[in-house]
Structure 1
Amino acid sequence: MTSNSQDDLAKEELIAKYIKKLIKNVESLQLPHKQLQAFKSLVLMTKVRDDKLIGNLITLGGLPVILRCAKQKNDFEMQIEAICALTNMITGCKDHLDGVMKAGAFPVLCHLLNSYCLQVCEQSVNAIANVVVSGKIYCEQAIDKGIVRSLSYMYYLHPSSPIIIRRVACILRYICRVKLCYTLVKKIIPVIRALIYQVDKDIKLDILYAIVYLTDNIDFPFKLILEYGVLKHMISFLDDSDIKILTTALHGIGNCLKDTKKLVESALDNNILQHLNILVIHNESLVRKSALFCLGELLGNPISYVQDDISAQLIVNIYINLTDEDFDVNKETIYALMNLSATGSKDHIFTLANMEFISTICDMLVYSDWEIIKMILKLILNLIARSEEYFITITSLVRNHIDFTMLEYLMQHENTDIQKFAMEIYTDLNYESYIV
């Protein structure tokens, strides 16, 4: 063995002895100030950011001691030191985080959220935030340990702490990625409603992400979004200049517009169409894509035509995006137009037919993406089926611009929907030819 190896081994043995001595002192010293001094020395080792040192501390039994100190009632200084040590371990390597969780630290941290000491609450919620951002599995564990109830209680106990407000918003963003039961959603929504009014950009963004994750779940009780005024406030964010705020708000609103008649009516009453008319021609492609997604969901709901607010200008603004260089923008544009063709009025159908729209979508059948091809074929079918007195005009336009070789090829496509739609169009066009 080399001298260097011997020196390293001797050093490790000294460190191990020192850790054991500190643990013993924390557990055996009777005078509170002496115990606190020994504990601070133990905590100091976690601040070094040395993974090996922290690993030794955990292996030698440091975690149970830290957790016992965290439970010291009314000894807020001891609790704060303990939470600091846990936070340092949580933000280290994954093995340390797993060790902290297996040792039962999370229930302790949740309990500390109920403390009347503001600093204890702030330190605890900061530690928990560092846990939940580490992965979905930790979010699930946090929910199982009662984080939602503890978080709600603490927020209302200390509603003016900037640290708590920021961390609560962050935690909500991450735990909402997990499918929550109705009881937990009911506890979360009032906090979301309160936080959505915050001016801070990061808080607003975290809350918008939380809403998006919640509403991505089709079983989400969407009526709560209406009852707590969340939809109205999300729509107000569409005046924001920040791209992330805009796109996230649009995603959340679009999710809500898939649901009930009341949500759609509320969106219309809060001028959603005026916002979307501008945002579908926004300079940023991400905003256009999100606005078109939102508009597509709105156009897919027949109630959106009650006030006859779908103007020719809005249709033109949607159509402009068909030639966009961004594939995703194209896709959302076709989706919006497909829904318009399915639920729009006779005038909307005629407006589409009067533009170079049919020529453009027929040319787009060369797309290799089968989802886009399917939507285009469905769109053409909708136009033909709902053309009424414009039947001859629209079918003639389709016949003049569609590539029949391509149509025949699509009739043999591996996707059964594409086969079916292509065959129906082929039949309709031959019927029109027979009439002429």
Structure 2
Amino acid sequence: MEQQANNLFSFSQNENLLNNQQNIDLGGQGKNQSSNNGNNEDADKLKERRENNAIEIRRDKRNKDLNKKRQFNTTQNQGSMKSDSTSKDNFQGSDELRQKVEKWIRQTFTLTNDFQTIVQSINSNDIEQQHYGTIGLRKILSTEDNPPIQNAIDANLIPRLIQFISQDELKHLQLEAAWALTNIASGNSSQTQAIIDKGAIPIFIKLLKSDQSEVAEQAIWAIGNISGDCAVYRDMILRSGGLQPLIAIIQNATTKAAIKHGTWALSNLCRGRPLPKFQLVKDALPILAQVLMRTTEAEILGDAAWALSYLSDGDESRIDMVIQTGIIPTLISLLRSPILSILIPVLRIIGNIVTGSEQQTNQVLNEPNALPELFQILNHNQKTARREACWALSNITAGTKDQIHQIIKEERYIEKLFSLLETDNDDIKRESAWVLSNATSQAYPEDVRYLVNKGILKLFVQNLDSKDNKTVAVILEAINNILNCGQQNFTSNGENIFLIELDNQQGVDKIEELQKHTCNNVYKKALNILEKHFEIEDPLNA
């Protein structure tokens, strides 16, 4: 791609962003080394278990976001592509050919009337005919309704198009052929495979480095479509060296379109199940962080945030690398975004970070607006946003006593969690139950007493009637945590005052009824409470 002095992003000082802060060790001390809490190993287990129970949240649910894009003929959809112009600077060939190409670009082509002529022209040895046929094919493949992708494959045009993009002598023919192949790659998996089988991947990676910006940007579209098809093709691109030239394009971008398309393609290289090996994609972290910090365009922000959400989904060493990019303040500010396609991946990144060590979680909590913004999202009208915010908060309450206290000390936070558990839909009730249950497991005894005084046992007992087995199981565990705390710290005349409060709320009767529950997990948790705190035997053994 042509490099201009005034690129939109200046990254030279950040080229080694991951190494600039190599002396920072945010994850070096695990929770079991903290002086705050003797049960930090339990906190780690809590987060791991919370992670396992949140798999359905963590799965990629971008059903509305296309992994593939087809480039249409309209100027609006071309972005910065200049395929419908043939400037003398970029056009290689005679003036006569250039004039004909300009005419053909304005011409209307249809499958019914022109396809056979297009096929014959592409297979011709005449350069003019090759241009005519390739332009015509590109134009009919760029129609919005039912593009004839399979027709082009069945006519065996792919080998010829691959030949055209491999030749640098005729830049416009190269560009038109690349555009046609890009739209073929936007089809179904077998259609995408048709161009891969002909060796398209290494050629498109080479074109990412083209000195013609239009050709390089067209290669971005192709790489994005191929990597968006499946994890196998994605990994083929990564192992063939496709990441670095894509990063370079974004770093040296002189147009928003290059950043936009490059970030989308980069997001596709980072996504998918299974996720790519981190070693293959970790170099994308600095550029993704910089894009998030420096752009304001919603689509670019969304793609960059989704990509970073995939890269942050891992162990503490991976989380460390994300933190070292300096992205956390930007993430907190983006929690105010009214655009769901930005907000959800940002919540996911924050949720991933707070699954890490005590020090890593504190990197989020040390931002003054982190908790206020997360709790504000609990008022969001979209269930997905409320659920993701609860998931992040549940990982915070699976942390240390001091981290939990930062939430419990704010009465408005507890009241909001109580409100969700009382009035929201089943999904959000379950997630808010996780936030509170994790807090009861690790909190300071005085904080647990505060929750009891605020009415948490009454609320838990009310929700033991839930039809959602997971919610009931989480609440039973929380009740057991509270009773354990009371037995150890709050007794009167030898009696557990929290147990007395549970009985006052008719909780004991409900827990006894749950011994008949059809869910084995619920039955076991109910029985555990009764055997441990009431000396009631298993009715099955009576």
TM > 0.5 fold call: yes
Q: Are the counterparts in 2 of residues 312 and 351 from structure 1 also a CA contact under 8 Å?
A: no
Residue among 295, 303, 314 paired with 2:393: 295
- TM-score calculated relative to the size of structure 2: 0.69
After superposition, residues 32-51 of structure 1 pair within 5 angstroms as: 35-49=127-141
Q: Are the counterparts in 1 of residues 121 and 129 from structure 2 also a CA contact under 8 Å?
A: no
Higher normalized helix content (fraction of residues):
1
Give the stretch that moved more between structures: 130-139 or 336-345: 130-139
Residue aligned with 1:160, SS: coil
* Matched AA of 2:175: I
Q: Offset at 1:45?
A: 2.7
Q: Offset at 1:401?
A: 2.1
1:371–1:245 Cα change, 3 Å: same
After superposition, residues 10-409 of structure 1 pair within 5 angstroms as: 16=116, 18=117, 21-25=120-124, 28-29=125-126, 35-49=127-141, 55-92=150-187, 95-156=190-251, 158-178=252-272, 179-197=275-293, 198-218=295-315, 221-271=318-368, 272-302=370-400, 304-305=402-403, 308=406, 310-313=408-411, 314-387=413-486, 388-391=488-491, 392-409=496-513
Q: Residue 4 of structure 1 corresponds to which residue in structure 2?
A: none
Residue aligned with 2:140, SS: coil
1:39–1:304 Cα change, 3 Å: farther
1:368–1:90 Cα change, 3 Å: same
1:234–1:185 Cα change, 3 Å: same
* Matched AA of 2:425: D
Deviation digits for residues 386-431 of structure 1 (CA, Å, limit 9, x no counterpart): 2244343211111122454542343355655434421232134426
| 2-structure distance, mates of 1:97, 1:334 | 45
Deviation digits for residues 209-233 of structure 1 (CA, Å, limit 9, x no counterpart): 1122233345871111111112332
Q: Are the counterparts in 1 of residues 445 and 489 from structure 2 also a CA contact under 8 Å?
A: no
Deviation digits for residues 230-254 of structure 1 (CA, Å, limit 9, x no counterpart): 2332122123233442333122201
| 1-structure distance, mates of 2:330, 2:396 | 18
How many percent of aligned residue pairs carry the same amino acid?
A: 21
| 2-structure distance, mates of 1:350, 1:404 | 19
Give 5+ residue unaligned stretches, structure 1: 1-10, 30-34
Deviation digits for residues 103-154 of structure 1 (CA, Å, limit 9, x no counterpart): 2222211110011211111111122223334444543443344322332233
| 2-structure distance, mates of 1:204, 1:53 | 33
Q: Are the counterparts in 1 of residues 134 and 176 from structure 2 also a CA contact under 8 Å?
A: no
* Matched AA of 2:421: L
| 2-structure distance, mates of 1:165, 1:14 | 36
Give 5+ residue unaligned stretches, structure 2: 1-110, 537-542
| 1-structure distance, mates of 2:114, 2:354 | 65
1:92–1:43 Cα change, 3 Å: farther
1:208–1:53 Cα change, 3 Å: closer
Aligned length: 413
Q: Are the counterparts in 2 of residues 358 and 401 from structure 1 also a CA contact under 8 Å?
A: yes
Q: Offset at 1:86?
A: 1.0
Higher relative contact order (CA 8 A, sep 6+): 2
* Matched AA of 2:296: V
1:276–1:60 Cα change, 3 Å: closer
